[in-house]
Amino acid sequence: MIAFFYDKTFEGLLTAVFDAYSRKEFPDKLLEEGDVPPLFLDSSHTVITQTDKASRVWASLEKKLSKGAQNMLTYVWLSEEEGSDDLLFRFIRKTFECKISIEANFGDDDVLLIHKLAKKVAREELYIKEFVRFQKAADDIFFAPISPAHNALPLTIPHFKDRFSDQKWIIYDLKRRYGFYYDLHTVIEMTLDDDRHLLSGKLDEALMAEDEKVFQELWRGYFKSMTIKERINLKLQRQHMPKRFWKYLTEKQ
């Protein structure tokens, strides 16, 4: 078995592809730096992430793949599914070694899995856009905690920057402990030193703007008054609105 160790970044993965072709040695398994080597390891290589190498691989992929297929690679990476990096490596290798495009060859298991994973992440991207609920903090910054199944938050930032361009906001991924802050001009990636108080999905009342409390009560009252108890269908609700988002929805609190 041949193993490559890398830093678990997308640039690192592309650098691993570059190194494999340079060394004429292709890994059976991609591992994170510091992982315990598998038994019966024949050889290993530690990948040093280099932007120039990653850029050359990506430029080559742009010549071989459609824009949609390029986006799929990003979506699969953001899926964080176990083995997704090995899958991407195999797909990239097949892309380079086939004379014709393989991106629509659904008879290939790797191509089929690439499409399925990308679709799952695209669905999570849509859920974030639909179910983010901002809460106004005392400092007039609108805050929204989320915890998506896949790391799809970066895909939604252009949407929120365009949709809410006239207000400062933070969208924070509690599962991955990072988020994005928009200051009316630029979007900045950020982390919070202590995010434990956000696990409930709701800002602490001491941090909440006074009018936000009123609006939340009004919204909950409206939601309750419009609900027809006899027609409540929790199964259908879970189908269209995954339960993992419920604690972040004002009307569900």
Tens-binned pLDDT, residue by residue, of the chain (253 aa): 999 999 999 999 999 999 999 999 999 999 999 998 888 889 999 999 999 999 999 999 999 999 999 999 999 999 999 999 999 999 999 999 999 999 999 999 999 999 999 999 999 999 999 999 898 888 889 999 999 999 999 999 999 999 999 999 999 999 999 999 999 999 999 998 877 666 666 676 666 676 666 556 665 665 576 677 777 777 777 777 788 887 777 766 6
Contact by Cβ (8 Å): 76, 87 = yes
Assess contact for 154 and 168: CB atoms under 8 A. no
User: Residue 84: its pLDDT value, please?
Assistant: 97
Contact present, 182 and 213 (Cβ < 8 Å):
no
pLDDT of residue 178: 95
> For position 220, what pLDDT does the model report?
66
CA dihedral sign, ordered 212, 214, 218, 223: positive
Amino acid code (one letter) for 67: K
Would you tell me how many other CB atoms lie within 10 Å of the CB of residue 205?
10
| Alpha carbon distances (Å) from 12 to 2, 57, 72 | 17, 11, 18
Cα–Cα dist 136/231, whole Å: 32
For position 221, what pLDDT does the model report?
A: 67
What pLDDT was estimated at residue 192? 87
Predicted pLDDT of residue 234: 74
pLDDT at 231: 76
